[in-house]
Amino acid sequence: MTYTVIAELEGETFKLVTGSSRHEVESHIAEFLLYDE
């Protein structure tokens, strides 16, 4: 199973289709939020 991440950044919508597992996707999102300051 693959996961798709849909995000909005500065008014633009991005769709990222991943080949990652659920745990990996959650980890990537958490890492992004941690460093996005």
Amino acid at 15: K
What integer pLDDT is reported at residue 21 of this predicted model? Answer: 78
- The answer to whether residues 4 and 19 touch, using CB atoms and an 8 Å cutoff, is no
What integer pLDDT is reported at residue 7 of this predicted model? Answer: 84
Q: What pLDDT digit, counting tens, does each position of 9-37 carry?
A: 888 898 888 877 777 888 877 887 888 76
The more confident residue out of 22 and 8 is 8
Widest Cα–Cα separation across the chain = 31
